Structure 1
């Protein structure tokens, strides 16, 4: 990506930052993706963890509350400010682009990396995975979540086998905001992971919880049969 080109969702998330805390309460986050992800993350107490694509700090806060020493990064300046306001001086928070080198720490200085619903804004995952591998100590873990390729394929007019840019529309303060992201096939999730020095430990396609059914009954049956997210834990070889 040219050095003067902004990340594809940077402007959208700068606009969404003020309203994003409300989005965190959406059942798709609180009762589908988040429970699956926190179950994948191993013990973090006393460990140094990178929150890659921190948004407004949901995982940063959870990691801190579970005893981790946290460094958080996000491409959106406004999201970085939201995270700083949320956690204060409990974590170190930087503005950084996952599509570029992460000049935030020395090699092998993190025990784990968590990336919740951020990587689908990156076209080629080899770049962030290469950086994650560099930053992790041997045996360190990477846990991440993203759009499920099948859900994108069914929801948008895409070629399943290609990595293609699409747009979803979110509403913030009564205004519709287009948020671009990339659909990719499953091969472009797993192959970049293996090519950059990771081994796949566990893959979860989360199903909705009982609280999801209570909050969003109109979507519950559909989401019992059709995946929404994919959550993966891998370790550095």
Structure 2
């Protein structure tokens, strides 16, 4: 594909925004990634929490229901509009690129950060992790989910597991195939990016599908019991 026709994340999500909620209802999200990620989140009642890369506001909605003071950010205008419709006044929403300095936040002003299935659009995780560490109070948590490095390596037939590489997935929206670029990386880049930015790794989960997944997608259930799909992580800023 010529460089000027190369798809961007921004263009892809402009097209996906109207129908993206159906992705949340997909059993891979609803019965695998989302429950595993939310189980890692500590009590958030009366806590200040950043939803980084909020998309349609799935996590922001969940956090607000549990009494958190939520700031939800994303770079995509169309996705933010959908999040505003969903969340209303229950959370603050801003247009922010998490690969840039988070100038809206002073040091140590958040109790937690959640980043659900957004980091695979970022080439180097050290930049957002360093900013997350800066804005967190001592003892604050970071919970994130990502595509599993082994799944990406096999599914995209990568030549070199150890490279960080730009790949493309194909999603469908209103009958149209949408090319969505992302970055695959080795497992070491996940862990080292955390450690090098000052986090303690508290728990790492390679979730298996729930029984409800089996009811919705029985043809994939047995494979996903034996094969990694997502990676869900909780880390903390040292006291």
TM-score with structure 1 length normalisation? 0.96
Question: 2:199 and 2:71 mapped to 1: Cα distance?
Answer: 21
After TM superposition, list the pairs within 5 Å mapping 1:40-119 onto structure 2. Answer: 40-119=40-119
The yes-or-no answer on 1:144 pairing with 2:115 is no
2:17 corresponding residue in structure 1: 17
2:225 corresponding residue in structure 1: 224
SS at match of 1:78: helix
Query: Structure 1 regions of 5+ residues with no counterpart?
Result: 1-6
Deviation at 1:185, TM superposition (A): 0.3
2:212 corresponding residue in structure 1: 211
Kindly tell me the number of residue pairs found equivalent between the two proteins.
Answer: 231
Cα deviation per residue 1:38-60 (whole Å; 9 max; x = unaligned)?
10000000100000010100000
Q: Which runs of 4+ in 1 moved over 3 A?
A: none
Question: 1:120 and 1:104 mapped to 2: Cα distance?
Answer: 23
What RMSD in Å do the two structures reach over aligned CA positions? 1.0
Query: Structure 2 regions of 5+ residues with no counterpart?
Result: 1-6
Deviation at 1:157, TM superposition (A): 2.3
Cα deviation per residue 1:192-211 (whole Å; 9 max; x = unaligned)?
10111100000000000000
1:198 corresponding residue in structure 2: 199
Contact 1:193/1:199, CA 8 A, preserved across alignment: yes
Deviation at 1:8, TM superposition (A): 4.2
2:186 corresponding residue in structure 1: 185
TM-score with structure 2 length normalisation? 0.95
SS at match of 1:105: coil
Cα deviation per residue 1:94-147 (whole Å; 9 max; x = unaligned)?
111121111222111000000000000000000000110011001100000000
Question: 2:121 and 2:192 mapped to 1: Cα distance?
Answer: 18
Deviation at 1:177, TM superposition (A): 0.2
SS at match of 1:62: helix
Cα deviation per residue 1:175-203 (whole Å; 9 max; x = unaligned)?
00000110000110000101111000000
2:172 corresponding residue in structure 1: 171
SS at match of 2:38: helix
Question: 2:48 and 2:150 mapped to 1: Cα distance?
Answer: 34
